[in-house]
Structures are given as structure tokens and as C-alpha cells.
Structure 1
Amino acid sequence: MCGIAGLYYPAIAKPVDPARIVTMTDALAHRGPDGSGVWTAPGVGLGHRRLAIIDLEGGVQPMATPDSQVVVTYNGEIYNFQEVRAELERLGARFQTDSDTEVLLHGWRAWGPDMLDRLNGMFAFALYDAGRRSLFLARDRFGVKPLHYVELSDGAVAFASELKGLLAHPLFRRTPDFRAVEDYLGLGYVPDDASMLAGVKKLPAGHFLLIERGRPVPDPVRWWDIDFSKRATGKVRDLEAELVEHMRAAVRSRMIADVPLGAFLSGGVDSSAVVALMAEASRAAVKTCTIGFDEADHDETSHAQIVADRFATSHNIRTVDSDDFGLIDTLVAAFDEPFADASALPTYRVCQLARETVTVALSGDGADEAMAGYRRYKFFAAEERMRALLPQQFRSSVFGTLGRLYPKADWAPRPFRAKTTLLALAEGGEFAYPKAVGVTGPALRRKLYSLEAIKALNGHSAEQRYVDTMRRAPARDGLDRAQYADIKHWLPGDILTKVDRASMAVSLEAREPLLDYRFVQFAATLPPSLRIRAGQGKWLMKKALEPWLPKEILYRPKMGFVTPVSAWFRKGLAEEAAGLAQSPVLVGTGWFDAKTIARLADDHRAGRAEHGRTLWQLLMLERSLARLFG
């Protein structure tokens, strides 16, 4: 795991100052504390910060072929690199190291961009080919590893793992893009097709960008996509066995490392499954770590201990304060752009804990998106069945009217929020689902914005990307389309950004075996009834894991990392909330209506309304804007 940065001049081969590349990579030192390197040639400069995981002595980067005609700087892991290497050796390639990095050099010469189809891993890399006078940028299938790029005023294309690498370049101009604020408030994160800084782009997951000298910078090219349109057939027990084999292979391939390795263990199904399969594959006790909270309602340590005892892991638990908002500024620095998923706080803490004993930690991320594990999928699937039974005109008229009349009850458990359900049923699924996954809804956002800000948006809406994605999804039904859209937006924008930034901030490599593309693609072929059944998400996965895990783990209600942000804004952060309306950073942008912000804070503190998540968004936005533009 590493940090990469560099410059490429597509129009003319201008000289590149190595010191400029060093400045960019130094901003990413946390991603790679074990070493650094720079390589330059006319018109190009590649930089690298290394967290040594495989071939500790030989995997130094940037890495070049012996003739220096192909050079790569690379962040990530190729889990099947030994298989790809063997294929390349049969084609005549001669390797100088045992590093997975070298596979990219020989793979490029053998297959060009088509080599990506052979790679199973998490990666973002930049490869320069002197013979073709080109720079090739590529990102893994799901966007586990990030890659930002921007065209500078001197004609260079600058790229970096994190935004802070671009910010280190003196020609980078910090101009805010208000559309990204709309996206952030709607979704809770700045999605991969947006940026808080105008001109900055994020290479989309499963895409590459080939820039050739003498030609304009093109649009990225999609090299992989997930397909929900096919359906697996066969007996349930056979599908269970196939699912477990995919999981087993994914876990084992991610246990290859030349440094200490362990796992996050929350006590939920996904991390417990990963630990179970690690224990099966390991001769030594698996190192596991769990974060506990001082409030029982948010604590899962007892369930994690059950799994740790069952598999005799070397288990490490640390209890933290549930009012752990002292990490806010640390997270703002780690994420660069505003990020409102408050579970980033405990994620950071568990990464800190893991780093004390290991350099690589396996996580359970990805299974909820692949196997329909979130509760919202259950509700959405039920709503889709209702939509299929009743004509749109009837639903719009009857449910829409009832929904507008029904009192708002955001405080109630999801099944009892009749207003939300009625309004969702009145709409098509592609319009209702984006609102279900959002944070601050369209109506409240419009109240928050100034008139000038609304005009500046010119109709841009955070939810529209979900609508468009669900409409074009290679899918058979609504559940397929919802999962597809989450894999394209929520997964890279929220879940994977959270884990990447939190782990890299403490120089820890996190690996996600349940995002092995073969496992996810198999899951996408399962009929909806095998993903959700009898109110249970991940039904087939849970059934397949019954020989490994006790039912009290498999079938307990999903908790996840819960942070009490609503309580914070009525207690320790109440003054922070009240101060948002007078914030020179936030209100000084001219984007917001100060009276609306003040009313939100007052109503929330008095218990008249529930605005905790929106206030958290505004607080994180204020801190991020101060850091980016202050």
C-alpha cells in the first residue's frame, strides 16, 4: 500500500523538476512511511511513497524495465500476481524482483490495457511508456484505491492518490465547486464524479485513462462492469458451496504478505466470516482487534469475543469514549473533502489499534452491497413489489396525497415512518431509492441554500446520478438496480473512501476479501429470493456460514459502527451547532441561509426535530472548507 503522484505534459515534453514531485509525494508520506522515490524524464515525472508489504527489499518504486522504456508508480496489491507472473514468464518475460509491481511492467508490454482484465486486486497506478509517449492511469474494479487528477495552467496533467498531493503543487488553483456541496449534503460524501475543487477529477472505478503526447486529454474508458442481468441456477446447497468457495479463495489470496497480518472483528456476520476463513487457512492464531464503546447500546465487543473464542484468535479489545468527537480535525485532515459518515471515527480508532500489532488487516466490507445486507434493501424490495401491483397514476394520486398529509416522524423506527414510505410508493423506484440512501433531503437542502446558490446549481441534483445509474443498470429488477447503483456510488464514495483514508492515515493496509470481483459477480447472479428472504438480507451467505458461525452471530440485528451524533448536538457539540449560523467560513460563502441553519440547531437542541445528521454534515463541511480555502 502506497501513495503515488506525478506530472505529465501531453502537449510538449517540458522538463520536470524532481523537487516538485517530491513535494507532492511528501504530502502523502502517511500512505508510505517506509521509503520514497522519484523518476523523471522530459515531459514526465513519477513519484512514490512506500508502505512495504511484499518483497520488502526488491519492490522499490517507481519501477522501470531494464531499458527504462516503461516505468510505473503503483498503489495497491495484485492478489493473483504469481499466476499472472507465471503466464508472462511462459511468454518470455524475465523478472528481476519478487514484487507484484513488476507484473504491471511486463503485463503492459505483453497485453497493453487488456492486462487489466487479468488482474485481481486493489490498485491505482500510473504507467509511462516512452515508446508510445503515453501515460496510462488505471483504477481497480470497485475503486478500493483512489486516484485524483487535474489539468494545470502550464499544460501538465497532475495526479495523486489523495487531493492533498495535488494541493502541494504551486500551480494548483483552489476554486470551490458548489455543485459538490449539493452532492455532499444530499449523499453524505463527495462522490467520485464530483470534487469540492473545480477542475479536479477522480478516475472512476473500473476505468483507465490513456493520455498520448500530442493529443487532447480524453475521457476515461470503462474496462470492467458488474452484471446483474444473469441468473444462477441450481440447488440451494450447491449455490451455498459455490459461495463459500469464492469467499475461501478471496480470503486466502489476501493473506499473502511479508509483514504481520490480522483482521478487524466487529462481531457482525461479515468480519466474523472473514476471521473464520482466515483461521481455517492459518497455522498460527489470527490476530484480531475490536473497538468497544462505553455505552452498551453501541457496543459489540461481547459478540466479537464469541467469535474470537470460537476460533482462538489473538484478540485485542480497546474501549473508547462514545463521545469521541475530539477526532474531528484529524478526520478532516485525513479526508481532504467533507465526509459525513460518522462511523469514520470508530473506523479510525480500530485502524489505530490494528496498527499496533499488524501492518495489514482484512475487513468485511463489501458483502452488504454484494448480498443485499442493508436493511434499506429489504424495505425497497417490498416497495418495489407494491409498485408492480399498482399503476403509477394510482400510486401518485393516493400515496402521494396521503404522504403529504401524514405527519413527519424521522425519529421513529423505519417501518413506522409512514410518511417516508407513502411518498416513496408514490414515486418510481429510481426516484425513491436515492432519497432512501441520502442524508439531507432535497426539500431541506433548498431551505438551507441562498437564492444565489439555488440559481448557481441550475437544476443540478445530488440524486440524479442515482436515477441515471439505476435506469441504465444491467439488471432485471429493482433490487438489482439499487445494488448496482450503490456499488457505483455509495461503495467507492463512502465505504471505500472511509476505510482507505482511515487506514492510510495510520499507515495500515486494509484489504477487502468480500470485494473479490469473482465473489461479487457470483452474488449478482443470485435470484433476489436468495439475497433477501424472510426479512433477512444476505440470506444465502448466512445459511452457507451456519457450519462456521453460531446463529446468535448470523441472525442478530445489524448494528455496524454507530455514533451518537444526534446526542452530541444536544450535549457536547450544542454550542458548535449554534455557532454554525455565524460561521464566517460557512455563511461567508454566500451559499447558505443563516436563519435556516440557526433554526435547525435550535429545533434539534430543544428536541422539536431531528437534525443531527444534517448538523454533522454542516460541521464537517465548515471544517473542510476552512482547511481547503482558509
Structure 2
Amino acid sequence: MRNGLVVASPARAEEAERAARWLASQGGRLEVLGDAGSPAWLAVVHDGGPVLEVGRDGRRVGVRIGDPTASPWAVLDGDPPAHTVAAVIDPEHGRAVVGSGPGNLRLFGHEDPSGWLVTTSVGALVEGLGERAALDRSYEDFQLGFGFLPDDRTMFAGVRSLARPGCIALAGPPLAGPSGDAPRPGAAEPVPPPDGPHGVADLLLEVLDEQSRGVDHVGVLLGGFDSALVAAGLHRLGKRVSTFTFHFDDDRFNQRHVEEAVGAAAADHHPVPITAEVIGDALARFPELVNQPGAQPHYQIQTIVAASAARAAGVERLFSGDGCDAVFLAYPTVNTRSAASQGLGRVPSPVLRASLRALSLRSVDDRLGHVARVGRSSLRAALLGGAASHHLPTQYLDDVALRRLSPTPRPVQDETIAEIRRRLATATGATDPVRLAFDGNAIAGHSLAKVEGATLVSGLDIHSPYTTTSFRESIAQMPPELVRPAGRLAAAEGKPVLQQAAVDSGLLPPSVVEQRKQAPTMAPIDEWFSGPLRGQVTDLLMELPFEVDLAAVDVILRRKRAEDVYRQRLTLSNHAFQAIGLLTSYAAFARLVRR
């Protein structure tokens, strides 16, 4: 991450310096704003991009990453703006404070009796800890199952994602309030619903106008209808628009209707080449780019590469269509999973258990591969019952898969997977199966990790109108039959009111609005994992904190008829090797403490 910050209390200055040097080694410029002789230590690493701001106010020194309208003091003295993190040191009063608002950026911290070390990069923090860094494997089964960790955990002992929003004092008295928490505003006024499609179009333009204020040249990560509408809206507002799409040599994986979408935005279009070499190079240094392992690291890498291309093209602020499907409950894969979970909930438990035993047989697992793992995941979820049966997405590696993958015993876990799933599902407060499924899809945080990494690597703020509170709450007030007419729930045929808004306002042509859904994660990654990247995959798996049976890896990577059918007919992403993506990205992080 070429852009980031490192903060430490006095006793941690040496560790903070190591963390800052690690960040700077990736191409940023290191500025030490507080040294070991001060009551606090603060350094910023940056490449001159617009996302970082360093400020001095008397003897206070601070840095802000994110919202360009906020200074470090505003972030910590008031209500933290969205997509913003900040740190301030105040040597005169012996004080160090860090804080973050809701949104796309996080701070990670390690605290012990010697004090705090806080960074925007998990990799930098682990590097700073040096020999004291250690893996925390007490939730490893869950992480290798679902590709994330619950609550504020990371895969490293004592390293936590700090609570958002709010601020904490690392040393000395807080900047605001006796507890260190920034003052919170009163309850917001209820957001009125838009008046039909015309009101939806007006709402979208209003949010985009606010998000793009103060800049002329904007970029859009173009992936389909949702982002095409963002690009067209920005053009309507008078912005100079550049669009960026992933480009593969195999045209089957390239975005459709790009010319029409680019024309509607009068955009300067940039296809961004994505090759096996691009993915392999980034996967080898994955902890330098993102803050958590995931089952689809190629998609996060592709987004970061595209964001860097936008920066090189002179873009001042970057936009995407993230979050649109969640607002309108319209993501096909999630809806299909929700419909399946509701159907399985009516099947007697003995039948579910018998089916689970059948799918766990080695011969069946060998023949079906990912399809067997998806089936077992669905059956296990149904056997949980209640809200948990509808909540989390597919379990990529379960006990059957992990036993085959490694002959070594699994480490003792702090909670069972079933306990964690029930706890997380209950915490949503939701009972509707579809809303539970969408919450489970979001809680994994892969979209956050993607945007966070792209921001910290490219130095560009990344925004989506669909993730703003005003847009989400306003759409939520609309009658459900207008947002999702009856009969569309399981098939997720689109977002009718938004589609109508795009056509009625003249923002997009029907060919773009009515195009078939295409997953943004679509890429020839399975062919690369089993082909040109196979040697690198094997080498990375040797870095895992447990012994790996390479024969079991060969089985996963072997071509299977059932997986071909799954890619072609059952998934939008044409991707069935999520287990390999999760294992290799996990191994890349584990290697940080095994060197």
C-alpha cells in the first residue's frame, strides 16, 4: 500500500518505524511527523496522490486519509465523515488520537502493556511487530470456511480492526469528551422515499453531485448497468468521465455493451489488461495490497490494478456501482441461494443428514469438487435451522475438505462454526430470508477489502452513490412492489424502478439497461490456477501453517464435468476454484510470520 499511516505510543516507536519503512518500500514517500522523542509517533507514507492530507495546527500534527472535505481535526473533534481515517499527535499535551468514520477505510491496532501500534495496513503492522508477530489460529476453521473472520478479529494474535465510527486516545487525554469518543449527532430526520422512477433519477444525480463536488475529471470502474448509470449521471452533471474495464485475451470474460455505456457518458474509455502474470505478481505480495485474505483475490487485484490505471490517467476521484444490488435485493446468486435455503428448510432432517453423508464420500467429492462443497454447505446451513440457515454464503472449505487437504490435526477453535453462525445471524435482527442472505453476503467484507486496497494503493478516493446512507434509506422507504415486483424475487431479473429511471431520464439506452447480469468477478482465473499459475499456487500453499497434501490439491485443480456444468449454468462468475483463491491468499498472509 503506497498510501497509509502509522501511529504509535512512545514505547512502540521502533516498531512503528519498521512498519513505516515496510510501507515506504512499496513505492511511497515516507514523512515522519512525530519522532521517538515525542509523546507519540506518527508517520505517513504517500505517493503524492490526492487521498492523503497532512495538516499542522499549532503544535498539533495530523494526517487524514479519505474525504477531501475533512481535515484531521474535523475527523477527530467532531463526527467522523464516511470513508475517512485520521490520526493526530499533540506533543505539547502528550496526546495521540486515531479515529475513523463509517465506510471504506479501517484502522488496525495492536495493544499491550508497552502501548499501541496502529496502522492502515495489517501487513505493515505485522512487519512492525517483528518477532512478536504470531498467527491466531483459534478461528481458522471459520476463516477457511467463509473467507473472513467475525467481529473485529484478524488472523494475527492481538491485532484487531478498530471500532468504527469513533476515535480512541492511544496516549494522553482525548481530544473530545472524557471517554475519548467523538460527540455523536442527534437522530437524523427520516429520509423520504423518491417519487417513482423520476424521483429515483433525481436522487441518484443529487448524491453524485455531492460526491463529485470540487473535481472535474472523474473515473468509473465500469462493470455493467449499475456502474454505467453512475458514469452517465456524472456526465449529466458536466464532469469529464473516464471509464475503466478489465480486459482479458479471452473475450468470453470481457464486459458486454461497453461501447453503448461509454457513449452514454461521452467517456474516454480505458481497457485495463488483466493477465495470469498480473494476478500472479500481485498474489505473491497480496498483504501489500489488501488487509484480509479472501476466496476471490483475483477480483480484488483486478480492481486495484484498474484504480492504479485511473490514477495514471489523471482521474481525480473514482466511482463504482458497488452496493446497488444490495439496495434493491437484486443480486441473482444471493437470491438463488435464499430460495434454495427456503426450499431445504422444508426437507426433513434425516433426509438432509443422509444427503450430507453421501456428498461427504471421497468418491463423490472427487467427482463433484466445488459442486459437492456447495451442496454440503447448503445442507449444513439447513440443518442449523432458524435465521442462521439463511444467512452466510457458501462454506468453501468444511471439515471434509480440510481433512482431505491436510493430515495434521486442526487447532482447537474458540467457538464452533455453528455457534458463530447463529450469533452473527441473530445480531442482524432480521427474520426475512432474503434480507438475511444479503446481510450474510455483505458481512464478509470482501467489497470493503477491495475498495480499501484500491484506495490505499492508488491514492484515489472511491465512491458509490448506492452505498450512501441517504440513497439506501430513501430507497428502503419505497413500497416493496415498486422496487421488486412479485415474481422477480428468486430470479432477480433486475432493478425495475432503477431501470425505468435510467430510461425515462435518458441517461442510458435500453441495450445497456436490459443487458443480462454479468458477475464482476468473472475472469479465466480457474484456467490460470490450473495452468500458468499452478506452480505458484503450489509454492504458496507450502507457506500455510499446516502440512498440505499436494495430491488433494491436484484433485481440486483437476477438471471435472460437474464443475464445467456449474460454471456454465449455475453461476454468473464462471468460477469454481474459490477454495484455491482462499488458500493461496491465506498463505500469503501466513508467510508474513513464517519468514
Tell me if the contact between 1:252 and 1:281 (Cα under 8 Å) persists in the aligned partners: yes
Tell me if the contact between 1:147 and 1:160 (Cα under 8 Å) persists in the aligned partners: yes
Taking structure 1 as reference, are residues 184 and 399 closer, same or farther at Cα in structure 2, changes over 3 Å only?
A: closer
Aligned to 2:280: 326
Task: Give 5+ residue unaligned stretches, structure 2.
Answer: 564-575
Aligned to 1:261: 218
Aligned to 2:568: none
Tell me if the contact between 1:124 and 1:147 (Cα under 8 Å) persists in the aligned partners: yes
The one-letter amino acid paired with 2:319 is L
Aligned with 1:177: secondary structure? coil
Tell me if the contact between 1:470 and 1:482 (Cα under 8 Å) persists in the aligned partners: no
State the distance in 2 between where 1:221 and 1:559 align. 40
- Determine if the alignment matches structure 1 residue 373 to structure 2 residue 326: no
Aligned to 2:452: 500
Aligned with 2:240: secondary structure? coil
Aligned with 1:483: secondary structure? helix
- Determine if the alignment matches structure 1 residue 48 to structure 2 residue 44: yes
* Structure 1 counterpart of 2:462, from 510, 529, 533: 510
Offset, 1:156:
1.7
Taking structure 1 as reference, are residues 570 and 49 closer, same or farther at Cα in structure 2, changes over 3 Å only?
A: closer
Aligned to 2:242: 287
- Determine if the alignment matches structure 1 residue 72 to structure 2 residue 62: yes
**496-505 or 44-53, larger mean C-alpha shift:** 44-53
TM-score by length of 1: 0.75
How big is each residue's C-alpha offset from its partner over 1:190-237, in whole Å with a ceiling of 9 and x where there is no partner? 56622222111111443543456499xx99989999x9xx99997xx7
Tell me if the contact between 1:36 and 1:61 (Cα under 8 Å) persists in the aligned partners: no
State the distance in 1 between where 2:593 and 2:334 align. 36
Taking structure 1 as reference, are residues 458 and 318 closer, same or farther at Cα in structure 2, changes over 3 Å only?
A: closer
Aligned with 1:28: secondary structure? helix
Offset, 1:309:
1.2
Tell me if the contact between 1:340 and 1:617 (Cα under 8 Å) persists in the aligned partners: yes
Taking structure 1 as reference, are residues 38 and 133 closer, same or farther at Cα in structure 2, changes over 3 Å only?
A: closer
Task: Give 5+ residue unaligned stretches, structure 1.
Answer: 82-99
State the distance in 2 between where 1:475 and 1:386 align. 19
The one-letter amino acid paired with 1:44 is A
State the distance in 1 between where 2:538 and 2:406 align. 18
Aligned with 1:289: secondary structure? strand
- Determine if the alignment matches structure 1 residue 181 to structure 2 residue 181: no
* Structure 2 counterpart of 1:159, from 112, 115, 118: 118
State the distance in 2 between where 1:479 and 1:553 align. 27
How big is each residue's C-alpha offset from its partner over 1:518-555, in whole Å with a ceiling of 9 and x where there is no partner? 22333445565555441225443333323322333333
Tell me if the contact between 1:376 and 1:436 (Cα under 8 Å) persists in the aligned partners: no
Taking structure 1 as reference, are residues 379 and 424 closer, same or farther at Cα in structure 2, changes over 3 Å only?
A: farther
Offset, 1:352:
3.2
Tell me if the contact between 1:188 and 1:340 (Cα under 8 Å) persists in the aligned partners: yes
Aligned with 2:307: secondary structure? helix
The one-letter amino acid paired with 2:560 is G
The one-letter amino acid paired with 2:462 is A
5 Å matches for 1:599-614?
599-602=552-555, 604-605=557-558, 607=560, 612-614=577-579
State the distance in 2 between where 1:33 and 1:603 align. 39
Offset, 1:159:
0.6
Aligned with 2:31: secondary structure? strand
Tell me if the contact between 1:264 and 1:363 (Cα under 8 Å) persists in the aligned partners: yes
Aligned with 1:377: secondary structure? helix
The one-letter amino acid paired with 1:73 is V
Tell me if the contact between 1:152 and 1:171 (Cα under 8 Å) persists in the aligned partners: no
State the distance in 2 between where 1:104 and 1:148 align. 21
State the distance in 1 between where 2:535 and 2:56 align. 52
Aligned with 1:169: secondary structure? helix
Offset, 1:162:
0.5
Aligned with 2:195: secondary structure? helix
Q: How many residues align?
A: 560
Aligned to 2:268: 314
State the distance in 2 between where 1:25 and 1:259 align. 33
Tell me if the contact between 1:53 and 1:259 (Cα under 8 Å) persists in the aligned partners: no
Aligned to 2:423: 468
Taking structure 1 as reference, are residues 245 and 449 closer, same or farther at Cα in structure 2, changes over 3 Å only?
A: farther
Aligned with 1:61: secondary structure? strand
Tell me if the contact between 1:603 and 1:609 (Cα under 8 Å) persists in the aligned partners: no
Aligned to 2:4: 3
**605-614 or 26-35, larger mean C-alpha shift:** 26-35
* Structure 1 counterpart of 2:499, from 530, 542, 545: 542
How big is each residue's C-alpha offset from its partner over 1:153-187, in whole Å with a ceiling of 9 and x where there is no partner? 6x120111102332443666111111353343122
Aligned to 2:567: none
Aligned with 2:54: secondary structure? coil
Offset, 1:362:
1.4
State the distance in 2 between where 1:149 and 1:232 align. 35
Aligned to 2:229: 273
* Structure 1 counterpart of 2:522, from 562, 587, 591: 562
* Structure 2 counterpart of 1:139, from 70, 84, 100: 100
Offset, 1:599:
2.3
Tell me if the contact between 1:33 and 1:507 (Cα under 8 Å) persists in the aligned partners: no
- Determine if the alignment matches structure 1 residue 615 to structure 2 residue 588: no
5 Å matches for 1:22-37?
23-29=18-24, 33=28, 36-37=31-32
How big is each residue's C-alpha offset from its partner over 1:24-61, in whole Å with a ceiling of 9 and x where there is no partner? 4343348994773503574212222346566x9xx852
The one-letter amino acid paired with 1:602 is V
State the distance in 2 between where 1:315 and 1:479 align. 36
- Determine if the alignment matches structure 1 residue 209 to structure 2 residue 168: yes
Aligned with 1:159: secondary structure? strand
State the distance in 2 between where 1:599 and 1:219 align. 52
Aligned to 1:521: 473
Share of identical aligned residues, percent?
18
Aligned with 1:497: secondary structure? helix
Offset, 1:629:
2.2
Aligned with 1:36: secondary structure? strand
Aligned to 1:61: 54
Taking structure 1 as reference, are residues 483 and 205 closer, same or farther at Cα in structure 2, changes over 3 Å only?
A: farther
State the distance in 2 between where 1:223 and 1:481 align. 32
Aligned to 1:85: none
How big is each residue's C-alpha offset from its partner over 1:315-346, in whole Å with a ceiling of 9 and x where there is no partner? 22244436754332243532365343221232
Taking structure 1 as reference, are residues 197 and 412 closer, same or farther at Cα in structure 2, changes over 3 Å only?
A: closer
The one-letter amino acid paired with 1:287 is S
State the distance in 2 between where 1:573 and 1:333 align. 20
Aligned to 2:33: 38
Aligned with 1:63: secondary structure? strand
How big is each residue's C-alpha offset from its partner over 1:240-282, in whole Å with a ceiling of 9 and x where there is no partner? 444434422322222235684322222x122112101101111
The one-letter amino acid paired with 1:269 is F
State the distance in 2 between where 1:285 and 1:427 align. 51
- Determine if the alignment matches structure 1 residue 457 to structure 2 residue 389: no
Aligned with 1:185: secondary structure? helix
5 Å matches for 1:11-26?
23-26=18-21
Tell me if the contact between 2:49 and 2:460 (Cα under 8 Å) persists in the aligned partners: no
Aligned with 1:344: secondary structure? helix
State the distance in 2 between where 1:554 and 1:628 align. 48
State the distance in 2 between where 1:343 and 1:353 align. 15
Taking structure 1 as reference, are residues 606 and 525 closer, same or farther at Cα in structure 2, changes over 3 Å only?
A: same
Taking structure 1 as reference, are residues 134 and 285 closer, same or farther at Cα in structure 2, changes over 3 Å only?
A: closer
The one-letter amino acid paired with 2:521 is F
5 Å matches for 1:92-111?
100-101=70-71, 104=74, 108=77
State the distance in 1 between where 2:449 and 2:539 align. 29
State the distance in 1 between where 2:253 and 2:228 align. 18
The one-letter amino acid paired with 1:453 is R
Aligned to 1:89: none
Taking structure 1 as reference, are residues 506 and 331 closer, same or farther at Cα in structure 2, changes over 3 Å only?
A: farther
Aligned with 2:118: secondary structure? strand
Tell me if the contact between 1:7 and 1:157 (Cα under 8 Å) persists in the aligned partners: yes
